A and B are shown apart, each in its own frame.
Chain A
Amino acid sequence: MNRKRLQQLTDSLVRSAKHFNKKEVECLIKLFHTLATESRDRFAAVGLDRNMFRNILHCTFGMTDDMIMDRVFRAFDKDNDSCISVVEWVEGLSIFLRGTLEEKIKYCFEVYDLNGDGYISREEMFHMLKNSLLKQPSEEDPDEGIKDLVEITLKKMDYDHDGKLSFLDFEKAVRDENLLLEAFGPCLPDIKSSMAFELKTFQETNEL
């Protein structure tokens, strides 16, 4: 890539991804290219494919839930081409690492709205929470606990009582109680891994 294009790209990304400065954007772009060459698949466009991205999420940010990781990938992949471009990468990470509460609420809702219809339905919740309880062998219906948990969540978050969570419901609930931001599974990095990532990416790359 020639220097001029890189310069342009950096400048535009500094504007669109608000939370990084120029240096940091450069570092991220550099990191993207390193990762992208690793996964370089002759046939694919320049970018990170699903597996590669999931690998990063797993190794760097300690995420484990397959479904959630898929959803995170979809959230990063704005243009739905199953490949994360450099712009998507930097803009995504901006929210992922340093997003404001508003941005994070939006991002999390996007992740949890599995079918993308603008609502988190009972079924979606059930789907996301189904592995969240230890199965008690004694119980007749193993799913009963999960169902109950879904009801509890709805009771807490469904302000308009329509049996599903709209974005407004979700936003209000999270503003009331920040802990509910990742109510249906971890989709943001925890403080330790994000600090480690930033340290590694921004400082070590700088030293190079």
Chain B
Amino acid sequence: MGAALARVAQCTSAGSGCGTLEITPLNESLLKEIIKFVENFSTRHPQEAAFVFKEPLEWKTQLDCSAFGVGYKIDGTTVQSEAKGKDGQPLLLLTGSTLKVRSFDQLSHLLYIAMEKKLKEAQACLEANRDPIVNILGPGYGTVEGEDMSILHLLDKVKKDDDPETDIKMKIFILLNQLDMQLLNSSLKHISQEVRLNPAAVNNEVDLLKHFCGKGEDTVLESLEYTSDYTFSNGCRAPPWRQMHGEICYLIIKPHDTDPLYITCSTAGVYLNGGKLKEKSDIDYERKSDIYKDIVTFLRERSPRFVENMSKQEYSFFKEPESEKYYQHMEVIDAEDSGQSQKPYDYTEKNVYEKMKGSSAKSKSIDSKKLEPSLKWKNIVRSAIHSDKATKKDIEEERRRGTVSKKIKKKTTSISPESVKIQPASKCKTSEKCKEVSESSSETEEDEEQPERHQEGITDLPSEYWQIQKLVKYLKGGNPTATVIALCSMRDFNLAQETCQLAIRDVGGLEVLINLLDTEEIKCQIGSLKILKEISQNSLIRHAIADLGGLQIMVKILDSPDKDLKCFAAETIANVARFKRARQTVRQHGGIKRLVGLLECISVGPTTLTPHQAKDFEIARCGALALRSCSKSTKNKEAILKAGGIPLLAKWLKCSHVNILTPVVGTLQECASEESYRLAVRTEGMIEDLVKNLSSEHEELQMHCASAIFKCAEDKETRDLVRQHGGLQPLSVLLGNSQNKQLLAAVTGAVWKCAISGENVSKFQEYKAIEALVGLLTDQPEEVLVNVVGALGECCQEPINRAIIRKCGGIPPLVKLLTGTDQALLVNVTKAVGACATEPENMMIIDRLDGVRLLWSLLKNPNPDVQASAAWAICPCIENAKDAGEMVRSFVGGLELIVNLLKSKNKEVLASVCAAITNIAKDEENLAVITDHGVVPLLSKLANTNNDKLRHHLAEAISHCCLWGSNRVTFGETKAVAPLVRYLKSNDPSVHRATAQALYQLSEDPNNCITMHENGVVKLLLAMVGSTDEALQEAAAGCIANIRRLALATEKAKYG
């Protein structure tokens, strides 16, 4: 498997890099092959299976220790196999989530245990062990690029000593090599199915289309010409230097309804090029459109008339008497199909028919004789299905020449439920081929063959399909006894496999299973639920179950006295209710209340349970699972609340069993998006338990706890509670676990929200969380980054942390994140950068990295939150940068941009921009520029506001802007003064100070003094003079002095 994985799997996933296998269909099929190999290994080669690996295969598993049963010693979270190697070490060892396996026996058993997680486990194993052969046989057998000498090497060894182990090694190695070959072959098959155009195919299509060109009304095109008449020996018409790019030829197509189209046919497909260059006879080779798979598809997109006339061709085609007969025949088959229950191969075949109808249109031949070919599609498909070797070979040969669609080959090898697409590009040649095949068979023969065809199909469908169909028949027609037997037998299929899941659906099994739920037979109900529970892992099945009304019945079953039945029903609901409509159904039929009811039982406490308690416990667990699924809908959250779910959840939160804690906390964290739940979490003392479980060994539980804290820590009391219960330390510790991204996202989120409280920040500092957070600034997914940066932003409120961030090298990655696109992330990043910028040393780094320019350009972001956050961040930057004025001027159009943001409707944006303008205006030159951009009237327009934050910054901006030219007068003219006076009545002291200062500046202009006086400013200011705030005192006094001076001067003028 080394070679296959290294060469095939890796190269398909080259993009993802760093040792993960992408889930491509190819990789998946490879994995499946490997799984099959390993699963059967212990039965096929028992001796070899017992061989103990040189090194264990080690990987992070998702399996729970509870999955292991007989043959394993389970001790807490470690699981050991009872089977041991010669050295007494267990052959399988699970500690935490690290799994070590040392023999094929254990591997195949493990895969058996893993059930539906099989694929994931195999993937994880192969990802962690790039070259399993080395682990299994020792480093001498590694996969070496180039010549593989290991077999020779091994042969030598066998000759030299008689060690029996070498013999076994040899066998294993050969087996693995066989698997390798098998894998390479199958991947080759996959790759070869990708279709590429070639000269012959293009030629055929052009020839065909030419038959339908002309001036007439019914023709599809006016003309279609090659640009060059010269054909190279390889069939291409493109000049050799263009052939290097895979181009085959160029065409000029004149449709009836559009301008001439200049197109390029290349191996990748058909697309529009730049057309003929005027002076020269050359062509502009640049691609100007999307790539289409062939000319017909291309024309369908481009010319409506083409499509229209094509359909006319189709019509005339079907008027042919012979074909009509044929058509009817097909109808009959269709009717037959719909009479039976639906089966995957029906879809396939129907699709083939439809395609034939469609392709008949495409292959609209010129004369009636040529109409035949498309009919013969069926024949080639059939002959292929008949797996007549000779025919197959023929087709394969054809394929090699590239004239027959590879998709047909696919049809012969596997019948998949998806439609079989026939490539029109190659249809012409195939049609001829069909003709050859079909000439020998008469129509009557075909009719006789019809039922046989079904039979032939059988061999192509997985055998499970037929067995399941049979079992469903017994389910339908059996009494309870037979039904139970059939149900139990059905459970022996690998229900985690999609083939089986869909087979059950397609043979009408779901209807029967759901009907069984509606009976009184508890055994049948349980049996049915056991199956539904498994297959509802598949989303198609989930939807089907909901559509068939299964949820309603399952909700009803929750009232049953039988405890097992309740458990299975709840568990199945948990699976099905993963989409909105299903959750709604559960609620509307009173499911939430019943599910909450399942949590109402026994006291929680003892760690050891009697069997009776264990059952109740299981019921509660299943109920919690279902609630967790349901709680994703807001209305369900309310319903859980109404049904009295919170105290029950709180009660179960006290228990110590991970199995039940996980869904309970999962429900809680999901619901914590609602205010009422957050309140309950705080007041019912759940924080303590959440904190306790942060130190659990189960990552899922940790994750739920962390995200519950994340959501609840929005309010201060909760944050304090988290600290008081010692939750900050486990959170800090969890920051070190950077493997599990979901967990990390939740933990960083919790850290972020907790860090909003200053006391918590100093704790975090103590636990070295800041350093850890800085470490998480790179190579993390966005959902983690948002939280990390948010947390850093909060921590930066403490001056010492700003220094820590700088020392840990956190500023460059932060500045780099300013170039991102995720808006939530940008809001946090700008905030963090702004907080860092309050430190002059940090500012030097930010400035060097051109961070201010990046912040400034974020003002152009369409999201107001980002705009505001960026503007806030700009303020400390201007304050702390050296030569700030020069720097600001260097941003071309920057000042105009920020002034124009004063037209925003968002109060936060306005306040932040006012703050930024205050800082900008400190530089006289810049003040002049923004005055030119009309900052004064824009500020005046904002004056009538009740928002204290905006008032504060607006007043500051006004007072700073007064310092240039005749701005004072302009503020007066644009009626900014009177509203400002009213600001003094605000309750916010910071508004008072800023306003007094602005008024003081404005009072330098006599007209403003008059306006102020008229608005009763003196009395208000007199009160301010008594303030303890010196700046306020001074400004108020200054303003009063100005007014008084004006009054004296006026009096003097009047009476003097």
Which residues on A are within 8 Å of B, measured CB to CB?
129, 131-134, 136, 145, 148-149, 152-153, 155-156, 177, 179-180, 182-186, 190-191, 195
Query: Which residues of chain A come closer than 8 Å to B473, judged between CB atoms?
Result: 145
B residues in contact with A155, CB < 8 Å: 489
Complex Cα gap A155–B470 (Å): 15
Report the nearest A residue to B467, measured CB to CB. Answer: A152
16 more A-B residue pairs beyond the given contacts A152-B486, A179-B488, with a C-beta to C-beta distance below 8 A: A129-B485, A131-B479, A132-B478, A132-B479, A134-B476, A149-B474, A149-B478, A152-B485, A152-B489, A153-B485, A179-B526, A180-B488, A182-B484, A182-B523, A191-B522, A195-B561
Complex: how many Å from CA A44 to CA B374?
87
Contact with A along B448-481 (1 / 0, CB 8 A): 0000000000000000000000110110111111
Contacts of A153 in B (CB 8 A): 485, 489
Q: Which residue of A lies closest to B526 (CB)?
A: A179
**A149 to B467 CA separation, bound complex (whole angstroms):** 12
Inter-chain contact A186/B481, CB cutoff 8 Å: yes
A-B pairs with beta carbons under 8 Å apart, 25 shown: A129-B485, A132-B479, A133-B478, A133-B479, A134-B477, A136-B477, A149-B478, A149-B482, A149-B486, A152-B485, A153-B485, A153-B489, A155-B489, A156-B488, A156-B489, A177-B488, A179-B487, A179-B523, A179-B527, A182-B481, A182-B484, A182-B523, A183-B481, A183-B484, A195-B561
Residues of chain B with a CB closer than 8 A to A132's CB: 478-479, 481-482
B492 at the interface (CB under 8 A from A): yes
> Of B482, B491, B492, which one neighbours A133 at CB under 8 angstroms?
B482
The residues of A that contact B522 with a CB separation of less than 8 Å are 190-191
| Central interface residue in B480, B484, B522, B526, by most chain A CB within 10 Å | B484
A63 CB to closest chain B CB (Å) equals 12
How far is B487's CA from A185's CA once the two chains are assembled, in angstroms?
Answer: 15
State the 7 A-B residue pairs at the shortest beta-carbon distance, nearest first: A134-B477, A132-B482, A132-B479, A152-B489, A132-B481, A133-B478, A185-B481
Q: Report the Cα distance A133→B478, complex, angstroms.
A: 4
B301, CB-defined interface residue at 8 Å: no
B562 at the interface (CB under 8 A from A): yes
B-side contacts of A184, CB under 8 Å: 481
Count B interface residues, CB 8 Å: 25
A184 to B522, CA, bound (A): 16
- A151 CB, min distance to chain B CBs, angstroms: 10
Q: Which residues of chain A have C-beta atoms less than 8 A from B474's C-beta? A: 133, 145, 148-149
CB distance from B615 to the nearest CB of A (A): 13
Instruction: Please report the C-alpha to C-alpha distance between residue A153 and residue B488 in the assembled complex, in whole angstroms.
Output: 9
B566 to chain A, nearest CB (A): 13
When chains A and B are docked, how far (Å) is the Cα of A129 from the Cα of B481? 8
User: Across the two chains, which residue of chain A brings its CB closest to B492?
Assistant: A156
**Which listed residue (B479, B482, B484, B492) contacts A179, Cβ 8 A?**
B484
- A136: chain B residues at CB < 8 Å are 477
CA distance A144 to B470 in the complex (A): 12
CB distance from A155 to the nearest CB of B (A): 7
Give every chain A residue within 8 A of B491 (Cβ-Cβ): 177
Instruction: Say whether A183 contacts B478, CB under 8 Å.
Output: no
Bound state CA distance, A191 and B523, in angstroms? 11
* Cα of A177 to Cα of B488 in the assembled complex, Å: 8
Within 8 A of A (CB), among B795-844: none
Give the chain B neighbours of A177 by CB distance below 8 A.
488, 491
| Residues on the B chain within 8 Å of A195, using CB | 561
Contacts of A182 in B (CB 8 A): 481, 484, 523
**Nearest CB in chain A to that of B523: its residue:** A179
Distance between Cα atoms of A129 and B474 in the complex (Å): 12
Whole-angstrom CA separation of A9 from B479 in the bound complex: 42
- Of the residues B480, B484, B562, contact of A180 by C-beta under 8 Å: B484
Q: Which residue of B lies closest to A146 (CB)?
A: B482
* Interfacial chain A residues near B523, Cβ < 8 Å: 179, 182
Question: 1/0 contact trace for B912-927 toward A, CB 8 Å?
Answer: 0000000000000000
- Return the CB mask of B480-521 against A: 1 if under 8 Å, else 0: 111011111101100000000000000000000000000000
CA distance in complex: A161, B209 (Å): 66
The minimal Cβ–Cβ distance linking A116 to chain B, given in whole angstroms, is: 21
> In angstroms, how far is the closest chain B Cβ from the Cβ of A134?
4
Q: Once bound together, how far apart are the Cα atoms of A148 and B477, in whole Å?
A: 13
Contacts of B486 in A (CB 8 A): 149, 152
Which residues of chain A are near B484, meaning CB under 8 Å? 179-180, 182-183
Residues from chain A with Cβ under 8 Å of B481 in the complex = 129, 132, 182-186
The smallest C-beta distance from B781 to any residue of chain A, in angstroms, reads 43
Report chain B residues within 8 Å CB of A183.
481, 484-485
Residues of A near B492 (CB, < 8 A) are 156
Shortest CB-to-CB span from A196 to chain B, Å, is: 12
* Inter-chain contacts of A134 with B (CB < 8 A): 476-478
Chain B residue nearest in CB terms to A195: B561
A19 to chain B, nearest CB (A): 15
Q: Which of B488, B489, B523: most chain A Cβ within 10 A?
A: B488
